[in-house]
């Protein structure tokens, strides 16, 4: 018996020996990487004319600023370049760019055609792989619109490298604020996402609040105290023409937001001391009531598919976030952390909800999943509020107000990872930003 | 059970019993030195410790006196001044005669101060040592642009950024024969182990540990930067590698197998866990997932690479074998990031044992970003 067991063991050991020896290729698993900005080089776009060369320089600058501004890329300064790009069609000297650790390289050319139009071509290279990323692309536009062309090129580079949808060619509508806190002048303003090309949509005669872009970016909803009471207006961005949307005597309407179809608006209406949510069909002007509770319901925001609405309610005693079907009905509470939650905004990707949270005397901008899980606070300050999503759902812009009588409001942006918090340059103070969709 | 077994068993038990109880293992105790020790209490010990220190303190007090030889009088007047100051308020507050001894007490206080100094010096050392873990805040990760498995302090401002730390070398006039290539001083880039959001980094007062730090991976093995030193080249050149491959080929031929270079199972010992780890650490230093989309960060890709005998990846040999968890577009971004990592960190050749080339000629690397999402 013993001998049998021994011989069996011996056979098993001998059998297992070849299994431990390696067969086929060596296999390793990499689970730890690094997170750091990707170094890229964007030399000035080449041109055969002086006008084109000037545009080439400015376009390369805007592209570099766009990419660097994401926090995901780091520009290699031109002083470090070893080889010069003198011709758009000549082959790239990969070794020269490898030597300065440029992992991505953008080359381009600018020319002005017979009609005075700007023609911009560019190519993107993966330097270490020694090959082009995607195809070369040509963009044509007016000379005035050179910044948009630059943004479009940057958008292409951004999405080719990250796989993320782009967002540089977008605009932001916000409330421009000037003057001291007790006599502040508020006007609606619109600008490129990076703070350039500011123009004002309203005068300073009355207080305006909470502008919101329509899904096509052509209209803006906002609340104005023009009549003495808060009322919702809709404004055409192109013509600056506006009309009042909701007008019931003795009521206040505010916090409007477009449905994803652009034909309906969900908003808050305060009547007889009670605030509830309503939905209005813009075409017919008829409103339907969505909530009917003695508590305050406000700050509604649609899910991107239009099926649900997230909003803020104090029905449990303190302001919390709830989700209900877009036609109204039973609401489900999703925020359960300590503190007060407000101004929820559904991400354009549909996976996250951004919100303002007040806890332990500080304000935060945070994100959570649509079931309330994985809450993550991204910022902390004396007063942060009013988040708005970039068109690709990767960046959040919000208002930050500083403390004291001299305190002022400015716009800030932060990546949804919590990195890359930065101030958005505006001419004066700014608050209540609303990010447009990507432009056509 | 047969008789033989019974006899055997009895004999064994008997032998063991003799060994244990019969004194077979006993031996004369080894000679050793005896030192008499007196047990004392902690207080006595403290007194012992204090006793020799007290004179030291006195000696310290004495030292200031010599320079002030001629000015001993002012000191005396100052002490006598202090006594009336103390007595006056006491007397006015409580007239009972009990106060008189209290007035006397403050007078010896200056004397007591002299002898108190040594004990005062000692306890704080213990107290501080005991308090440090409670008072010191949890080490907070600094916000840095680079998030890596290991935190790295900011490098010197005039040092070039590289994967490895390297001392600056300059040509040495004396050792002209053994000329080392001139290299610039380099240091790894500043990095932190996790993303620090503003909400997390502010307010050190509330920095109580909310979760434990993830255990770190093994420390990085020496990097291929050694190859900048000519000594490495001579060493590798000295290895009888060509002969060995020739022997391998001959063996393979003799055994009737197809030529060892392209087919067949690799011979010789496989890579050790440490060698595999060194390769893994080398690649992950260059695997930058910071510029990947959220979807690409959910995508695991398996990438195949053919290595040259110089331990550098063969250009154009890197291909995507499979992916899971994301769309084709996300898999392409994840693959491109993996490709950049392999090429970039292998530019100077990986630190792989040359004699085991057959084992690492083809490598399949799985890039799994699951743990990078949490950061």
Do the Cβ atoms of B202 and A27 come within 8 Å? no
Nearest one of A120, A73, A147 to A415, comparing CA atoms: A73
Give the count of domains, chain B: 1
Do the Cβ atoms of A26 and B195 come within 8 Å? no
**pLDDT bracket for residue A18 (50, 70, 90):** very low
Name which of B31-45, B269-283, B319-333 the model is least confident about. Answer: B31-45
**pLDDT bracket for residue B62 (50, 70, 90):** low
pLDDT value at B55 more than 50? no
Pairing of the two strands A118-126 and A73-75: unpaired
What pLDDT is recorded for position A163? 87
pLDDT value at B175 more than 80? no
**Measured between CA atoms, how close is A229 to chain B, in angstroms?**
37
β-strand partners of A221 = A212, A234
Confirm whether B322 is domain-assigned: yes
Confirm whether B304 is domain-assigned: yes
Structural domains of chain A in order of their starting residue, each with its CATH number: 38-162 (3.40.50.10070), 171-435 (2.120.10.30)
Residue of B140, B145, B150, B197 to mutate for A, most A C-beta atoms under 10 A:
B197
Confirm whether B116 is domain-assigned: no
Nearest one of A245, A206, A250, A251 to A224, comparing CA atoms: A206
What pLDDT is recorded for position A21? 47
A376 reaches B (C-beta below 8 A): yes
For A20, which residue in chain B has the nearest alpha carbon?
A: B270
pLDDT higher at B152 or A353: A353
pLDDT tens across B119-164, in order? Answer: 555 544 444 444 444 445 556 666 777 777 777 777 676 666 665 5
pLDDT tens across A297-336, in order? Answer: 999 999 999 999 999 999 998 999 999 999 988 999 999 9
Nearest one of B138, B161, B141, B137 to B151, comparing CA atoms: B141
Instruction: Let me know: does A118 contact A112? Beta carbons within 8 Å.
Output: yes
Ranked by mean pLDDT, the top range of A114-128, B134-148, B264-278 is A114-128
For B340, which residue in chain A has the nearest alpha carbon?
A: A128
What pLDDT is recorded for position A86? 86
pLDDT value at A25 more than 80? yes
pLDDT value at B110 more than 80? no
Confirm whether B44 is domain-assigned: no
pLDDT higher at A384 or B291: A384
- Tell me the mean pLDDT in the region A362-385: 93
Separation CA B55–CA B44 (nearest Å): 18
What pLDDT is recorded for position A264? 93
**pLDDT bracket for residue A440 (50, 70, 90):** confident
**pLDDT bracket for residue B184 (50, 70, 90):** low
**Measured between CA atoms, how close is B247 to chain A, in angstroms?**
20
- Nearest-by-Cβ selection for A25 from B200, B288, B304: B304
- Using CB atoms within 10 Å of the CB of residue A180, give its burial: 0 to 12 exposed, 13 to 18 middle, 19+ buried: exposed
Separation CA A43–CA A54 (nearest Å): 13
What pLDDT is recorded for position B99? 54
- Cα angle, residue B149 at apex, residues B271 and B194 outer, rounded to 5°: 160
What pLDDT is recorded for position A364? 94
- Cα angle, residue B296 at apex, residues B144 and B350 outer, rounded to 5°: 65
Name which of A267-276, B156-165, B288-297 the model is least confident about. Answer: B156-165
- Give the CA count within 13 Å in the CB-facing half-sphere of B291: 31
pLDDT value at A399 more than 90? yes
Do the Cβ atoms of A380 and B332 come within 8 Å? no
What pLDDT is recorded for position A240? 80
What pLDDT is recorded for position B198? 81
**Measured between CA atoms, how close is B178 to chain A, in angstroms?**
27
DSSP structural state of residue B150: S
pLDDT value at B227 more than 50? no
What pLDDT is recorded for position B105? 52
What pLDDT is recorded for position A43? 94
A394 reaches B (C-beta below 8 A): yes
Confirm whether B121 is domain-assigned: no
What pLDDT is recorded for position B290? 84
Domain with B303 in it: 274-375
- Nearest-by-Cβ selection for A417 from B195, B338, B340: B195
What percent of chain B is modeled with pLDDT above 90? 11
**Measured between CA atoms, how close is A42 to chain B, in angstroms?**
17
A164 reaches B (C-beta below 8 A): yes
Residue in this structure with the two tokens 């293992």, named with its chain if needed:
B25
- Three-state secondary structure along chain A? CHHHHHHHHHHHHHHHHHHHCCCCCEEEEECCCEECCEEEECCCCECCCHHHHHHHHHHHHHHHHHHHHCCCEEECCHHHCCCCCCCCCCCCCHHHHHHCCCCEEEEEEEEECCCCCEEEEEEEEECCCCEECCCCEEEEECCCCHHHHHHHHHHHHHHHHHCCCCCCCCEEEEEEEECCHHHCEEEEEEEECCCCCCEECCCCCCCEEEEEECCCCCEEEEEECCCCCCEEEEEECCCCCEEECCCCCCCEEEEEEECCCCCEEEEEEEECCEEEEEEEECCCCCEEECCCCCCCEEEEEECCCCCEEEEEECCCCCCEEEEEECCCCCCEECCCCCCEEEEEEECCCCCEEEEEEEECCEEEEEEEECCCCCCEECCCECEEEEEEECCCCCEEEEEEECCCCCCCEEEEEEECCCCCCEECCCCCEEEEEEECCCCC
Name which of A143-152, A292-301, B347-356, B361-370 the model is least confident about. Answer: B347-356
Instruction: Let me know: does A275 contact A299? Beta carbons within 8 Å.
Output: no
Separation CA A42–CA A97 (nearest Å): 11
pLDDT value at A156 more than 80? yes
What pLDDT is recorded for position A334? 95
What pLDDT is recorded for position A7? 62
Confirm whether B132 is domain-assigned: no
pLDDT value at B364 more than 90? yes
**pLDDT bracket for residue A393 (50, 70, 90):** very high
**pLDDT bracket for residue B217 (50, 70, 90):** low
DSSP symbols for B82-113? HHHHHHHHHHHH--STTHHHHHHTTTTHHHHH
**Measured between CA atoms, how close is B282 to chain A, in angstroms?**
10
What pLDDT is recorded for position A139? 93
What pLDDT is recorded for position A310? 96
- Tell me the mean pLDDT in the region A237-266: 86
Do the Cβ atoms of A34 and B148 come within 8 Å? yes
pLDDT higher at A325 or B241: A325
- Tell me the mean pLDDT in the region A357-384: 93
pLDDT value at B67 more than 60? no
pLDDT higher at B354 or B146: B354
What pLDDT is recorded for position A318? 92
What does the block give as tokens for B339? 């490709």
Arithmetic mean of pLDDT over chain B: 67
Residues 6+ apart with CB under 8 A from B337: B287, B288, B289, B291, B292, B296, B367
Separation CA A202–CA A221 (nearest Å): 13
Name which of A161-170, A381-390, B214-223 the model is least confident about. Answer: B214-223
- Tell me the mean pLDDT in the region B246-272: 56
pLDDT value at A370 more than 90? yes
Confirm whether B257 is domain-assigned: no
pLDDT value at B262 more than 50? no
CATH number at residue B358: 3.30.1150.10
- Tell me the mean pLDDT in the region A343-354: 94
What pLDDT is recorded for position B226? 43
Ranked by mean pLDDT, the top range of A64-68, B24-28, B338-342 is A64-68
**pLDDT bracket for residue B107 (50, 70, 90):** very low
What pLDDT is recorded for position B109? 46
pLDDT value at A395 more than 80? yes
**pLDDT bracket for residue B238 (50, 70, 90):** very low
- Using CB atoms within 10 Å of the CB of residue A81, give its burial: 0 to 12 exposed, 13 to 18 middle, 19+ buried: middle
Confirm whether B362 is domain-assigned: yes
For B216, which residue in chain A has the nearest alpha carbon?
A: A32
**pTM of the predicted model, to two decimals?**
0.70
- Tell me the mean pLDDT in the region B231-246: 47
pLDDT higher at B111 or A419: A419
- Tell me the mean pLDDT in the region A7-31: 63
pLDDT value at B60 more than 70? no
pLDDT higher at B252 or A406: A406
**pLDDT bracket for residue B178 (50, 70, 90):** low
In chain A, positions 31-70, which contact chain B (CB-CB < 8 Å)? 31-38
What does the block give as tokens for A405? 């009588």
Separation CA B338–CA B364 (nearest Å): 12
H helix or E strand, kind and range, residue B65: none
What pLDDT is recorded for position B236? 43
What sign does the CA torsion over A222, A264, A164, A141 have? negative
Pairing of the two strands A422-423 and A171-178: unpaired
- Tell me the mean pLDDT in the region A258-284: 91
**pLDDT bracket for residue A54 (50, 70, 90):** very high
What pLDDT is recorded for position B300? 93
Separation CA A187–CA A176 (nearest Å): 5
């Amino acid at each position: 018996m013993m001998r049998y067991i021994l011989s069996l063991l011996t056979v098993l050991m001998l059998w297992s020996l070849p299994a431990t020896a390696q067969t086929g290729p060596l296999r390793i698993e990499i689970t730890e990487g690094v997170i750091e900005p990707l170094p890229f080089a964007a030399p000035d776009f080449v041109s055969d004319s002086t006008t084109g060369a000037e545009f080439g320089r400015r376009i390369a600058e805007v592209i570099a600023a766009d990419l660097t501004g994401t926090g995901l890329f780091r520009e290699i300064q031109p002083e470090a370049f070893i080889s010069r790009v003198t011709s758009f069609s000549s082959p790239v000297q990969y070794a020269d760019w490898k030597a300065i650790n440029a992992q991505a390289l953008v080359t381009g050319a600018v020319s002005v055609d017979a009609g005075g139009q700007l023609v911009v071509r560019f190519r993107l290279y993966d330097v270490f792989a020694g090959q082009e990323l995607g195809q070369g692309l040509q963009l044509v536009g007016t000379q005035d619109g050179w910044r948009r062309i630059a943004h479009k090129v940057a958008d292409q580079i951004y999405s080719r490298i990250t796989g993320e949808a782009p967002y540089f060619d977008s605009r932001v509508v916000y409330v421009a604020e000037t003057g001291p806190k007790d006599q502040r002048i508020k006007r609606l303003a619109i600008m490129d996402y990076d703070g350039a090309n500011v123009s004002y949509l309203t005068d300073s005669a009355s207080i305006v609040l909470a502008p919101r872009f329509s899904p096509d970016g052509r209209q803006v909803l906002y609340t104005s105290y023009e009549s003495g009471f808060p009322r919702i207006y809709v404004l055409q961005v192109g013509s600056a023409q506006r009309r009042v949307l909701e007008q019931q005597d003795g009521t206040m309407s505010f916090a409007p937001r477009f449905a994803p179809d652009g034909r309906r608006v969900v908003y808050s209406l305060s009547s007889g001391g009670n605030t509830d949510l309503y939905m209005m069909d813009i075409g017919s002007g008829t409103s339907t009531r969505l909530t009917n509770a003695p508590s305050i319901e406000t700050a509604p925001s649609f899910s991107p598919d239009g099926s649900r609405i997230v909003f803020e309610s104090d029905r449990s005693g303190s302001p919390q976030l709830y989700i209900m079907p877009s036609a109204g009905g039973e609401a489900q509470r999703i925020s359960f952390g300590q503190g007060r939650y407000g101004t929820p905004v559904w991400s354009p990707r549909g996976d996250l909800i951004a919100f303002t949270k007040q806890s332990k005397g500080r304000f935060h901008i945070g994100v959570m999943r649509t079931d309330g899980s994985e809450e993550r606070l991204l910022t902390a300050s004396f007063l942060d509020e009013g988040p708005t999503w970039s068109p690709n759902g990767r960046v959040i812009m919000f208002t930050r107000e500083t403390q004291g009588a001299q305190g002022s409001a400015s716009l800030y942006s932060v990546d949804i990872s919590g990195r890359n918090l930065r101030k958005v340059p505006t001419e004066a103070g700014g608050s209540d930003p609303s990010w447009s969709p990507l432009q056509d | 059970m047969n008789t033989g077994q019974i006899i055997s068993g009895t004999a064994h038990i008997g032998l063991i019993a003799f060994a244990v109880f019969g004194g077979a293992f006993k031996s004369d105790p080894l000679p050793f030195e005896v030192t008499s020790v007196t047990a004392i209490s902690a207080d006595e010990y403290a007194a012992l410790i204090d006793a020799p220190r007290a004179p030291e303190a006195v000696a310290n007090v004495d030292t200031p006196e010599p320079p002030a030889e001629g000015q001993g009088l002012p000191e005396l007047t100052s002490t006598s001044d202090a006594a009336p100051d103390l007595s006056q308020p006491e007397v006015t507050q409580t007239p009972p005669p009990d106060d008189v001894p209290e007035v006397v007490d403050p007078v010896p206080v200056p004397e007591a101060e002299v002898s108190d100094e040594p004990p005062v010096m000692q306890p704080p050392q213990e107290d501080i040592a005991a308090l440090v873990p409670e008072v010191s805040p949890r080490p907070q990760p600094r916000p840095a642009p680079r998030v890596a498995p290991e935190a790295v302090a900011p490098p010197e401002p005039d040092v070039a950024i590289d994967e490895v730390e390297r001392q600056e070398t300059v040509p040495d006039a004396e050792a002209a024969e053994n000329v080392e290539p001139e290299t610039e001083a380099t240091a790894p880039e500043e990095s932190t182990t996790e993303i620090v959001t503003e909400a997390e980094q502010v307010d050190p007062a509330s920095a109580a540990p909310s979760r434990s730090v993830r255990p770190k991976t093994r420390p990085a093995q020496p990097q291929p930067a050694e190859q900048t030193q000519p000594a490495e080249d001579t060493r590798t050149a000295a290895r009888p590698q060509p002969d060995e491959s020739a022997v391998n080929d001959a063996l393979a031929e003799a055994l009737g197998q197809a030529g060892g270079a392209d087919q067949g199972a690799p011979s010789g010992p496989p890579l050790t866990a440490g060698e595999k780890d060194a390769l893994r650490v080398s690649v992950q230093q260059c695997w930058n997932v910071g510029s990947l989309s959220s979807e690409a960060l959910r995508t695991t890709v398996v990438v195949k690479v053919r290595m040259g005998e110089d331990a550098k990846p063969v250009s154009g040999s890197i291909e995507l074998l499979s992916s899971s968890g994301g769309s084709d577009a996300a898999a392409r971004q994840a693959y491109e990031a993996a490709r950049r990592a392999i090429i970039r960190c292998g530019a100077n050749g990986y630190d792989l044992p040359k004699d085991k080339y057959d084992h690492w000629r083809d490598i399949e690397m799985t890039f799994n970003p699951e743990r990078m999402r949490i950061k």
